[in-house]
Amino acid sequence: MKKFYYFSKTKLKFVEIRSFYKKFVFLVLFFSILISFFLFGSYLVFDGFINPDSEVRALKRTNNQLKEKFSALLEQYKSLDERISSLKDKSKDLRLAVNLEPDNDEQEKFGIGGSIFTPFNISNPRSISNYIDALDSYINKVSLKVNLEKNNYEEIESTLKENEKLYAVIPATKPAEGRYANDFGMRIHPILKIKRMHNGIDIINDIGTKIYAPGGGIAEFVGRRGGLGLTLEINHGFGYKTIYGHLSNIKVKQGQTITRGDLIAYSGNSGSLTSGPHLHYEVRHNGIPLNPRNFIYDDVELFEIVKK
């Protein structure tokens, strides 16, 4: 390898340059980087003098891109807001269908003005800040409406499930064949000959007529009860109970679970206060006697609900 020397004035002789190639490459790279920084800095300085508006143009391009993104986001939220309003109208009908009170229109408190939907012009930083604040407020209101409607539908869903349970147990059919007599209300008792409240209805039929459960429940009382004779009482839940009096035979045991259409008893003439074979039938809610006729759907035939 070729060697390089330099003349040393102190030593008065030629001295060999050690690691010449490494030092040469280092110096070349160092000065190349130094020159590059100098040229780049010079370019920025001259570009600032030659194109003083370049930074402004770059900011405008950025602002235009942000404006497009804001507009697209706004359209998405506007579409979501319209869909929520449509769902709200449907939920009103659903609440009525499941016997829920109408909602208190909390969403009306969060009405959204039309200014947010109008195109905006970038005039100064303050106008941009105001628009962003308005957009943020609008998004918060839409999010709140989403949560309110979600809670509304959860309440409807819960009520529907409760209604399904209620519809399965509420007494809703005529418990036995026969004609109605001695309706619910004040009457002259046929045996005592005094005016007194008749807490149920009488269904006239022959001894041994089959009696079917008008709704699901649990046999709460099976046995004799004063003037009603052999009596069955069913607890249907939700505060509802039915009472069957003057029976000749009971087919269920106390504590037994019953579903609508089950054979539960046979009519008879038991008890001291009866003028002939019939079924005494009562419906009570939270202990208050109600007119059983209001719970009997005349368009439902008994054979339709009887278990085979």
Show pLDDT as tens, one digit a residue, over the chain (308 residues). Answer: 555 555 556 666 655 556 556 666 666 777 777 777 777 676 666 665 655 566 666 666 777 777 777 777 777 777 777 777 777 766 776 666 666 676 665 545 545 444 445 555 555 566 667 767 777 777 777 778 777 777 777 777 777 788 888 888 999 899 999 998 867 766 665 655 656 667 899 999 999 999 999 999 999 999 999 888 999 999 999 999 999 999 999 999 999 999 999 999 999 999 877 778 999 999 999 999 999 998 887 765 655 566 65
Q: Per-domain residue ranges for the chain? A: 5-50, 85-169, 179-305
Q: What is the pLDDT of residue 7?
A: 55
Q: What is the pLDDT of residue 82?
A: 73
Annotation: CATH topology of 179-305: Glucose Permease (Domain IIA) (2.70.70)
Q: What is the pLDDT of residue 114?
A: 47
Q: What is the pLDDT of residue 57?
A: 67
**pLDDT tens-digit map of 129-170:** 776 777 777 777 777 877 777 777 777 777 778 888 888 899
Q: 3-state SS string over the chain?
A: CCCCEEEECCCCEEEECCCHHHHHHHHHHHHHHHHHHHHHHHHHHHHHHHCCCHHHHHHHHHHHHHHHHHHHHHHHHHHHHHHHHHHHHHHHHHHHHCCCCCCCCHHHHHCCCHHHHCCCCCCCHHHHHHHHHHHHHHHHHHHHHHHHHHHHHHHHHHHHHHHHHHHHHCCCCCCCCCEEECCCEEEECCCCCCEEEECCEEEECCCCCEEECCCCEEEEEEEECHHHCEEEEEEEECCEEEEEEEEEEECCCCCCEECCCCEEEEEECCCCCCCCCEEEEEEEECCEEECHHHHCCCCCCHHHHCCC
pTM exceeds 0.85 for this model: no
